[in-house]
Structure 1
Amino acid sequence: MTLSQTFADFATRLTIDAIPDRVKERARHLILDAVGTGLAAVGAPWAEASFATAEDLGSGTAPVLGYGRTLAMRDAALLNGIVTHGLDYDDTHARGIIHATVSAFPTALVAADQAGASGADLLVAYIAAMEVSTRVAAVGAGGFHGFGFHPTGLIGAFGSTLAAGRLLGLDAPQTAMAQGIVLSMAGGSLEFLADGAWTKRLHPGWAASSALTAATLAKRGFVGPPEAYEGRFGLYALYLRDAAPALLAQATEGLGETWEIETVSVKPLPACHMTHAAIDAAVALRSEHDLTATDIARVVVLVPEAVIPIVCEPLAPKRTPRTGYDAQFSIPYTVATALLTGRFTLDALDPPALSDPAVLDLAGRVTYAIDPDSDYPRHFTGEVIVETTDGRMLRHREAINRGAPDRPLANADIDVKYFENAARTVDVTRAAAIRTAVLGMDRHPASALGDILARRA
């Protein structure tokens, strides 16, 4: 069987009873985490521009988080992906280096609403998408980034196609065909790293929109290539220059028996996951040694070699980020902020913080080196070495980043994070009602969840 056929069989046959209770509970909390980050983003300039654009392109009744029911299904999926990913505070699967929830959930939400499906159907479709997206991305072993592609958009389209196919009533052959169709739609460039452009925010929503298009085309008999993954110009040959990567067998290993959703990391900090260990190390040093800016002569951050082009280079603009997005992908800025304030929150991404002369001055004294002991991508390691003005060398290492599968955030921690994020746009009563609806989604129609999420913030 092709990988497309194997994934299609898995997605169409999966039942709610076949999924362990602990996996369903974690899945609901991952969705809650995404909803919280999405609520925090409602009203942001890039979210407003995206919503206005979608309204220009058409109308409908599909649910859009915090924006109502005024968009067509594909545009609603696009917007939901943009807002849930736009703050870069959403979950990450470490081996695949993919934010999978923010394409899988937007797809499942609008498709289930359109189909009149149950909340349980929505949850199963979401889990199926997550299991495939994470595995397909992990086969790349971080290589997609090396060629300038963002797996969240590129690979998210494939898993999301399975969710769309299941909820829109496709059979297994049609679902296999839909994956071949979405191969011609999947993409996502890392060029945004050059200047903090908004395009990364677009990627998971575009993957969700593409998945809905591909599934509907397949349902109507449109023909796509059967070897979406293994083919001569399939996913791996096209985007990794390797038609048969050594890890290909991992794509289906344990499918339906072991659950990758349990290895998805929830972000404790609103920045690129590759900065988290360094931020926590900086906070620890500040706390332990009561450091102030005048104590610090120079800072060296040890990071995995593979992340240097993403969060360390080019060094000069990383030290003076122009936008919040720039800042989230900057080791100098995030570490300087943590050393000076003892934390890194969404407030650090606002214009006043970005122009704080004390932070920028310290960021100018932050440099980086390769971490020789990193086990990346298993962990996003980080070590901060502070040379003080009185000649001391202080260092702290975070070998396992918070939120990693072997150092996970508990569901209770996700609750705390959710309420902190939701509080930026909704009151506590509504935030609590949304939480109840998300965590109880499999006991109600999917449209009920859509209704409460779509209510304007």
Structure 2
Amino acid sequence: MNARNDLQQQAQTVSHRLASFTTHLQLSDVPQAVRERAKHLILDSIGLAYATLKLPYATSTLAAMQELGNGEATVFGHSHKLALRDAMLLNGLLIHSLDFDDTHARGVIHSTASALPVAFNLAERENASGADLLTAYLCAMEVSTRVGSAAKSGFHNAGFHPTGLVGAFGCSLGAARLLGLPVEAAQHAQGIVLSMASGNLEFLQDGAWTKRLHPGWAAVAGATSATLAKHGYIGPNAAYEGRFGLYSLYMKTPLEAGDIDIATAGLGETWEIDGVALKPIPACHFTHASSDAAIALHREHGLQASDIERVIVRVPGPTIPIVCEPVAPKQKPSNSYDAQFSIPYIVATGLLHGRFTLDDLEPEALADETVRAVAARVTHEVDADSTFPRHYTGEVIVHTRDGRTLTHRESINRGSSDRPLTNEDIVAKFFDNAQRNVSRDAAERICEAVLSLDTQPARNLAQALA
């Protein structure tokens, strides 16, 4: 009787329900539109990886991984191959480093940046089909976004970065799917990864590079935990709801009644891929609506720095500690990462130049005294009408020196699930990013390999990316 009760309790845990779903999922179960969107999310991320190749944090990480040893795993855009987990770490960093990658709004997580490295590098090693790679990617995406959604921004409020923290759980099941683990072992993988998941927000204080490592580390942790489970290693059953589980330890306030059910509600019927937003500008998603509002004001009024007396930006309350505070470094960012999380800098750039692109993260752009002067006049308020976290709203109010008040509001951020970029938009973004470091012909070969992924061996994609 006790053994039967134990099995019943185990079957009721979130980790068991998620493991059962991912273990049995077949690509044919997934609607065609979801599969197509998934391939385009992968394409977007690979384009970003190519845009990042020559940046200091990418070359530094490559040198460190090479020092740790060589291997047979492909790194995006490199002929040099690394050990499996080192390649995952670097591939995650390449995707996420520009903070231009996709975001699941409810989960507040950059999910592809971890899901793709674990699925790609394991599929390459296992000589799996592209369809298997895509299925594993979808498993990781569904799990990480759902687990993040149940927290309702609680991880951020406690100082944790969900992309690394929650991404590890999705990666454990994406890896388990490729390794062919049964349900019980896949459940253990989640319990094991509970002791490996990490990622904190301290980088926000000084623009440190550590955030860039988080998704790749999640992939490493996921692959490690699934491999341990494959060989019989035992993990806790209640990885999420347990006394010392994810939601008890990594949040300041406990979940409300019913919140944990968000992680498993509608599995196989509601696809979280549909809730993934793609970035039209290379900055934290929380800044996008405000950026677009500033750009709209520039285009309508042709504003000059001398016209602007002061600027008020209304943003969702929970985003203020991330993109508005502390005020001094936000008004005068010292590096590209500071700038990507700075409402004052991004809004000032939009008001003066009518854009925000990767070029606006270059050192000469950050040193522009005119932009800095306008950024110093930018303050913020809580947007009382925000629909956050469904939408990352933004409103810019400019008070001019001649007494005018100019206002533009973006109630639904461009790129969100309610105002999505089209697949054609994603392809165009891919070419813009990839061609920063490869030829048009090479980019076209990569694009073709990604968009035909479900009909080709995974190694075909690896060959195109190397």
Counterpart position of 2:202: 191
Determine which of 371, 391, 400 is the counterpart of 2:403.
391
Confirm or deny: 8 A CA contact 1:139 1:245 kept in the other structure. no
Residue 133 of structure 2 corresponds to residue 122 of structure 1 = yes
Confirm or deny: 8 A CA contact 1:230 1:243 kept in the other structure. no
Task: Map 1:300-379 onto structure 2 (within 5 A).
Answer: 300-379=312-391
Structure 1 gaps of 5+ residues are: none
Confirm or deny: 8 A CA contact 1:181 1:214 kept in the other structure. yes
Paired amino acid for 1:71: L
Residue 436 of structure 2 corresponds to residue 408 of structure 1 = no
The offset of 1:169, in angstroms, is 2.3
Counterpart position of 1:276: 288
Paired amino acid for 1:336: A
Counterpart position of 1:232: 243
The offset of 1:425, in angstroms, is 0.4
Counterpart position of 1:4: 15
The offset of 1:245, in angstroms, is 3.6
Task: Map 1:30-179 onto structure 2 (within 5 A).
Answer: 30-179=41-190
The offset of 1:294, in angstroms, is 1.1
Confirm or deny: 8 A CA contact 2:305 2:352 kept in the other structure. yes
What's the TM-score, normalizing by structure 2? 0.96
Q: Please give the alpha-carbon distance, in whole angstroms, between the structure 2 residues aligned to 1:108 and 1:172.
A: 18
Determine which of 243, 251, 254 is the counterpart of 2:266.
254
Residue 35 of structure 2 corresponds to residue 24 of structure 1 = yes
Give the RMSD, CA atoms, in angstroms.
Answer: 0.9
Q: Please give the alpha-carbon distance, in whole angstroms, between the structure 1 residues aligned to 2:191 and 2:256.
A: 19
Q: 1:421 to 1:64 in 2, by over 3 A?
A: same
Q: Please give the alpha-carbon distance, in whole angstroms, between the structure 2 residues aligned to 1:330 and 1:449.
A: 36
Confirm or deny: 8 A CA contact 1:312 1:318 kept in the other structure. yes
Counterpart position of 1:266: 278
Q: Please give the alpha-carbon distance, in whole angstroms, between the structure 2 residues aligned to 1:241 and 1:397.
A: 32
Counterpart position of 1:441: 453
Counterpart position of 1:221: 232
Q: Please give the alpha-carbon distance, in whole angstroms, between the structure 2 residues aligned to 1:168 and 1:70.
A: 22
Q: Please give the alpha-carbon distance, in whole angstroms, between the structure 1 residues aligned to 2:171 and 2:232.
A: 19
Q: Please give the alpha-carbon distance, in whole angstroms, between the structure 1 residues aligned to 2:463 and 2:200.
A: 33
What's the TM-score, normalizing by structure 1? 0.98
Paired amino acid for 1:395: T
Confirm or deny: 8 A CA contact 2:154 2:253 kept in the other structure. no
The offset of 1:263, in angstroms, is 1.1
Structure 2 gaps of 5+ residues are: 1-11
The offset of 1:241, in angstroms, is 4.5
Paired amino acid for 1:253: A
Q: Please give the alpha-carbon distance, in whole angstroms, between the structure 2 residues aligned to 1:411 and 1:17.
A: 21
Q: Please give the alpha-carbon distance, in whole angstroms, between the structure 2 residues aligned to 1:137 and 1:392.
A: 43
Identical counterparts, % of pairs: 58
